[in-house]
Structure 1
Amino acid sequence: MTVTAGTGRTRSLWYTGDLSCAIQTTEFARPQTGEVMVQTLFSGISRGTEGLVFRGEVPECEWQRMRAPFQSGDFPFPVKYGYANVGKVVEGDAALMGQTVFSLYPHQGVFTLPSGSCVPVPADVLPERAVLTANMETALNAIWDGKPSPGDHICVVGGGVVGLLTAYVANGLPGSTVTVVDTNAARAPVARALGLGFSLPEDAPGDQDLVFHTSATPGGLGTALTCAGDGAAIVEMSWYGAREVPVPLGQDFHSRRLKLISSQVGTIPAERQARWTYRRRMETALSLLSDPVLDRLISHRIPFDSLPEQLPDILNKASDVLAALVVYDGESKPTTP
């Protein structure tokens, strides 16, 4: 990658059509005052959202709201999409020079963005683990929406990365009992390593004080409703894209006075907006990643160059993947002529 006096050329991943993607050459500008140039170390793949993008399942009514902060292109295709980037500041703002930072940037080797859009990674958080920041933000936002209390019996239906992180944060409440429910028994060792209970759907606990649903399947939502105790809330964290999803609101849903609450990381809950900024939330999410046990959530490491070949399998709903870490070891460092 060569940087000239004003611009540079690097490589980035683009979703180019239904079930297709490619690495393309991308230009970026040299940093101006208040900006930094970042060389990517790692990026993280959001299997849920990026899977919807890859399959062309982002509904037209959400094309603007679902834009990633530094997305290029427009839905449906082609788009440069992603929001979990950890890199090193190599040029620009002196206050950030040489620091490892997290930003909501797509999969790209080198890029320039405003200094305020970078958050330094704490010293006790490994750069690899920091790619989970966006997922942890989603978990934190859901905890705010669900409002769990100490001593609660809490169930999380869906043992993916977001579900496990939500359960992990909820488990920090004194006296709480947290169970992860998933159809994949291979999730059990990871859940237990995080200090959580685990069960298959047929053995899921009932009479729960609070339930989070993250499986993005109608069956999982049905299980979540079954787990909830009378008068309890089910926090729906799944986003289904363009799919229509049947919700079992018959039988005893009304008589048991269950509450179905939506949670979406794009908006901070209204009661917190006067005090919480997106940056404060991101900084808090990063601070919650200090525990080395969370490294168990990174199940796959993918060289950047291999993304076009490996992404179809990684984003396949049937794949046994938790967090997929994209490694940029092969990316050349920026140079000036």
Structure 2
Amino acid sequence: MTISNAPSARTAGTATAYWTVGPEQGELRTEDLPAPGPGEALVRSLYSGISKGTEMVVHNARVPDCVADAMAAPHQEGSFPGPVKFGYLSVGVVEAGPDEWQGKTVFCLHPHQDRYVVPVTSLTEVPDGVPARRAVLTGTVETAVNALWEAGPRLGDRVAVIGAGLVGGMVAKLLAGFPLERLQLIDIDPAKRAFADTLGVEFSHPDDAAGDCDIVIHCSASQAGLERALRLVGDEGEIIEMSWYADRSVSLPLGEDFHARRLSIRASQVGVVARARRHRRTTADRLNLAVSLLRDPVFEAFLTGTSRFEELPGVVQRLSDGTLDALCHVIEYPHTTETTR
């Protein structure tokens, strides 16, 4: 379904955006695009990425009411369960705005939309050496960076990452650069071994994973994975919980030896800068760090498919019902010309 509106004299024409309009229902809608004002930029999208975990929760109308406000994306329109315009991995080119921004390739935490107007303070410049398509991963790398600031790994630590999906893989990739004694990426799917090999990280099935870990970072979004984390972490060790279960309940064996071993489970959520860096880093600092890390071509392994913008409603449904498997599926917009900066 497409809703068209004639542009007014104070608009920059029209834009087309993806909206979730009901449980397992999405559509492209056309809307007026306001002309950029002082301190604002008009961005033409090149690519956007589908953050499968969170976006499937939105697609299936499973955002709990108690966190609906907290889960709103920076430039979201509408509200949960819908209609809502949601998404946050967009890369484009500035076509109008302040002189110093025009022509720059930028990342923005914006929903899937072909053209949009935002304050320039919402933009992160994509640096030289980072292809625009790869830059859609900026928001996910930012999530991984925040988790490591939460975890605070130390020299010689033994660390396990449970769940070799997009977020878990990102965390493991960043941890591979730390001087750890041991790092394992753990998943029940043996096919993930090749992915771990690409990242340069040791792979393990949960049954074979090494215990007595100083830190376990849990990313599998499963009760079984979190239970395994409790078994793998060493005495007085810490579990960093990165999974979001939305409206699902999780039961854990917090009797047994949980108290005797003085274990800790701590949440990591990218909405605010991790406490350990909150007084010295801004969200803009964190995004600039994240996009700079994407110069490493190994991050291409996280981009597992591309579709055209007009195919987006069907792509989201296929991701939801499992007929399309992906880490980060990329949406390509019309007239995209890739430039390796």
Q: Which of residues 60, 70, 78 is equivalent to 1:73?
A: 78
Q: Secondary structure at the match of 1:36?
A: strand
C-alpha distance in 1, partners of 2:173/2:336? Answer: 34
C-alpha distance in 2, partners of 1:330/1:187? Answer: 35
Contact 1:133 1:282 in 2 (8 A): yes
Per the alignment, residue 46 of structure 2 pairs with: 41
Any idea what the Cα deviations from partners look like across 1:105-150, whole Å, max 9, x if unmatched?
Answer: 0000000000111111011111111111111111011101111112
Matches within 5 A, 1:1-337: 5-7=9-11, 8-316=13-321, 320-329=325-334
What displacement does 1:5 show?
4.4
User: Which amino acid in the other structure matches residue 121 of structure 1?
Assistant: V
What displacement does 1:3 show?
7.1
Q: Which runs of 5+ in 1 are unaligned?
A: 333-337
What displacement does 1:170 show?
1.3
Any idea what the Cα deviations from partners look like across 1:219-257, whole Å, max 9, x if unmatched?
Answer: 111111111112110100011111111122122212222
User: Which amino acid in the other structure matches residue 64 of structure 2?
Assistant: P
Using structure 1 for the length normalisation, give the TM-score.
0.94
Contact 1:36 1:89 in 2 (8 A): yes
C-alpha distance in 1, partners of 2:112/2:264? Answer: 38
What displacement does 1:63 show?
1.0
Give me the identity figure in percent.
40
C-alpha distance in 2, partners of 1:27/1:136? Answer: 32
Q: Which runs of 5+ in 2 are unaligned?
A: none
What displacement does 1:271 show?
3.6
C-alpha distance in 2, partners of 1:121/1:5? Answer: 32
Contact 2:159 2:180 in 1 (8 A): no
- Mean CA deviation greater in 29-38 or 262-271: 262-271
Contact 1:11 1:25 in 2 (8 A): yes
Using structure 2 for the length normalisation, give the TM-score.
0.93
User: Which amino acid in the other structure matches residue 249 of structure 1?
Assistant: L
C-alpha distance in 2, partners of 1:26/1:156? Answer: 43
C-alpha distance in 2, partners of 1:146/1:198? Answer: 21
User: Which amino acid in the other structure matches residue 242 of structure 1?
Assistant: D
- Mean CA deviation greater in 314-323 or 89-98: 314-323
- Mean CA deviation greater in 316-325 or 220-229: 316-325
What displacement does 1:259 show?
1.0
